[in-house]
Structure 1
Amino acid sequence: MEHWDVVVVGGGPAGAASAAAARRADPAARVLVLDRSDFPRDKVCGDGIAPEALDVLAGLGVDTAALVDGYPPVPRLRLRSPGGTTVERAMHRPALVVPRQVFDARLLTAVVAGGVALRRHTVRRIEVQAGRVVVDGALTAGVLIGADGAESVVRRAIGLAPNRARHTAIAIRGYAPEPAGLAGVQAILTTEQRWPAYAWSFPLGDGRANVGYGELVSGGVNRAGLLAGLERLLPGVAPAELRAHRLPLSTGRPRQPDGRVLLVGDAASLINPLTGEGIFYAVLSGALAGAAAVRGGDAGAAYRAALDARLGRHLRHSAAASGVSRWTRVMDAAFRAAAGDQRVFDDVVALGLADGRLTARTLAAAVRRLR
């Protein structure tokens, strides 16, 4: 059997970042990415790229300007609370919207150019043995990184159950002309009906927008309900094609086990419970896992410690905010506070789209509006 130092299952942003980080940690490492699809390929997602995600990739030596070339920055974000409070402001740093069919292919191409091997292969069986991980009886890895998404084969192989319904959302997504009144603006819109639920519209810069709607699986959601929710929050928007995807939220993430198998991105349930954002978590967890992968048998413990040090406090804050947000009055108060103070708005955006925390400033401002 052929042997590789690191095998990454999944060539999306989490997997690409993992592979790049492993090569950066040890330029002599033999790193292989396996993916069941050829690239370019679509990935059902909102297509929003937080600038903090690009920061992580730049730190791995990736030319991030090339990744987003042709897609203009989107400086403004509109938020609407369940009670109807609307706030629109310029973000501290503009976000970008790049179709995943474009972004993922560009990123993986850049990583392969850096010395990573890529092979089309559908992984079906993983065996953890002493000193190695065997993939489909055909190749071995010193460390295996599961970056294979919400339906992760790697996660199942090491005995970790999928998220429970209350920690899983499902969303539909399509492309349509920019909704009236939202040209050039990213928008996340919520409603009291079937809360917690939200719709989004993210402009591509060519007159089209990525639009969608999602809610928790535990609410008994079905396709008809998703379509109705999209029409309720973005009336008149009619994408030519709608595709669905699951979102395993970070409030249900498993504990990273010790050993030679690591989980990153969606496979590790790293999806922001407030916004459904996952790209930042994907590339950050991938970068941390790739750096730990060169540790061999100690990789699992090293990655777990690095992830907790870098993201643990934020994840605890986002989980707390997600729990509190079930009271719509609290959400309304927070959005009113954001409407009145740019710094509070920036705090809210950082908590939902990057690695921000519940600051004393934001909490105090929300309490004042709540009273």
Structure 2
Amino acid sequence: MTTHARGVPAVADPGIPAGRSAIVDLLVLGAGPAGCAAALRALQLRPDARVVLLDAAAFPRDKACGDGIAPHGLDVLRALGVPDAVAGYSPVDRMRLRTPGGAEVATPSRRANYVVPRKIFDARLVAAARARGAVLLRQRARSVVTGGTADEPVVIVNGDLRARVVIGADGANSITRRSLGIGPNPPEALAIAVRGYADAPHTPGPPEQLIEMTDEGWPAYAWSFPIGDGRANIGYGMLRSKLAALPGDTGGRTVLHGTLARMLPEQPAHPGTLRAHHLPMSTWRPRQPDGPVLLAGDAASLINPLTGEGIYYALLSGSLAGAAATTATPAQAGAVYRRALDRELGRHLRHTALLAGLAGRRRTLMDSAVRAAGHRTELYDNLIEIGLGRGTIPTASVARLALRRIISTRP
């Protein structure tokens, strides 16, 4: 089938059946980490499946992001048969956390993180998916419509691409999500961040990732993550609701760029590298509906509300969606995927929402947590697990924190 997108050359591939009535097994919208993980898992389970990745970009392409790759995401990739996604990049096993109240901790983590520009990371995942048998079409998704019958649905994309199951891994502005009648996150559950590249700081000791929080627009923070090639990924993010509440006519770009420059004065951004992006937080996740249309990654609001981490969630949710699309009937795929996602991340997401709500109302809670983590290695490790992986609050603490949240919301 030869397909066309506005302003994009047609792409033909013999792996796609021809004709409007032809149906592929899985059509994945978006070839980022979530989309590629979905394709990889589907083809891992069913090597003969006809899997198509649809993306408007030509890879390699830049993607505004903090570029941090947590070890949990690498675990998912190894299970998918992709062990070398961060090859050539050095591990960073220290993260320095600073709070506005003066608390600071920089303890080596049990497992190291990596910092790999998304231009490199995503292109490697696309190459792995194509090597596995996925077909990549360069085309922008403009419409997603479900047809057929209740027992044998067919999903039609852009009027002529037909699939038994569609996975929407098309980001914060997902057309797939809108097609399901699900609106965007409200401002209090939607962050906006600006990312740039700068010279890495010259500091003694091993390289470390920095997260520096600020009272301005709390909860908000700046970051500096060394890549290992002399550069660092730098950025600053805050909630859209906090940005909108600022007095005067100050524009969002002025606030984001200005605060980043003020918080990291020794790391001015390289010209032309500053790019803004939205992060739909998991504190407002849409319910995955039944049926043949699934949402993964940012499209499902899978962004950690404490740290902005999303790549691990993208890889894991994409893998789970790919498995459901392959092993369940199209009519049951959504329900199967919803249950799998809840088993893997449900408790963790509920706990991060609880902590984010408390920290947003009482900044001193973050001061206390970071200060205590400086003296207790197991607490530091648990904070990192909650912020970057799938960690949960110890059972004895859940009721106490829930009570605090109730008290903090009383007028």
**Structure 2 length normalisation: TM-score?**
0.86
Distance in 2, matches of 1:181 and 1:268, equals: 39
Instruction: Output aligned runs, 1:130-169, within 5 Å.
Output: 130=148, 131-169=153-191
1:98: how far off? Answer: 0.3
Q: 1:60 aligns with which of 77, 80, 85?
A: 80
Distance in 2, matches of 1:84 and 1:363, equals: 26
1:361: how far off? Answer: 8.0
Instruction: Output aligned runs, 1:254-273, within 5 Å.
Output: 254-273=286-305
For the Cα contact (< 8 Å) 2:217–2:243, is it kept in 1?
no
Structure 1: tracts of 5 or more residues without a match: 367-371
Q: 1:6 aligns with which of 26, 32, 47?
A: 26
Would you say 1:72 and 2:90 are equivalent positions? Answer: yes
Aligned to 2:369: 334
Aligned to 1:189: 212
- Helix, strand or coil at the partner of 1:67: coil
- Helix, strand or coil at the partner of 2:23: strand
1:69: how far off? Answer: 1.5
1:298: how far off? Answer: 0.4
Q: 2:137 aligns with which of 103, 110, 119?
A: 119
Would you say 1:219 and 2:242 are equivalent positions? Answer: yes
Aligned to 1:316: 350
**Structure 1 length normalisation: TM-score?**
0.95
Task: Report the aligned-residue RMSD.
Answer: 1.7
For the Cα contact (< 8 Å) 2:282–2:349, is it kept in 1?
yes
Would you say 1:284 and 2:316 are equivalent positions? Answer: yes
1:67: how far off? Answer: 1.4
Instruction: Give the aligned residue type for 1:40.
Output: P
Distance in 2, matches of 1:19 and 1:311, equals: 21
For the Cα contact (< 8 Å) 1:179–1:234, is it kept in 2?
no
1:360: how far off? Answer: 5.2
Larger radius of gyration: 2
1:363: how far off? Answer: 7.8
Q: 2:112 aligns with which of 94, 106, 124?
A: 94
1:150: how far off? Answer: 0.5
Distance in 1, matches of 2:358 and 2:201, equals: 30
Distance in 2, matches of 1:276 and 1:220, equals: 16
Distance in 1, matches of 2:333 and 2:262, equals: 47
1:362: how far off? Answer: 7.7
Distance in 1, matches of 2:228 and 2:397, equals: 32
Distance in 2, matches of 1:353 and 1:81, equals: 18
Distance in 1, matches of 2:396 and 2:179, equals: 44
Aligned to 1:17: 37
For the Cα contact (< 8 Å) 2:41–2:322, is it kept in 1?
yes
Aligned to 2:231: 208
- Helix, strand or coil at the partner of 1:227: helix
Q: What is the number of residues matched between the two proteins?
A: 364
1:74-113 CA deviation, whole Å, 9 max, x = no partner? Answer: 0111001231211001011000000000000011101110
For the Cα contact (< 8 Å) 1:4–1:30, is it kept in 2?
yes
Segments of 4+ moved more than 6 angstroms: 361-364
Structure 2: tracts of 5 or more residues without a match: 1-19, 245-251, 402-411
Instruction: Give the aligned residue type for 1:145.
Output: I
1:101-134 CA deviation, whole Å, 9 max, x = no partner? Answer: 0000011101110111111111111111121101
Instruction: Give the aligned residue type for 1:267.
Output: A
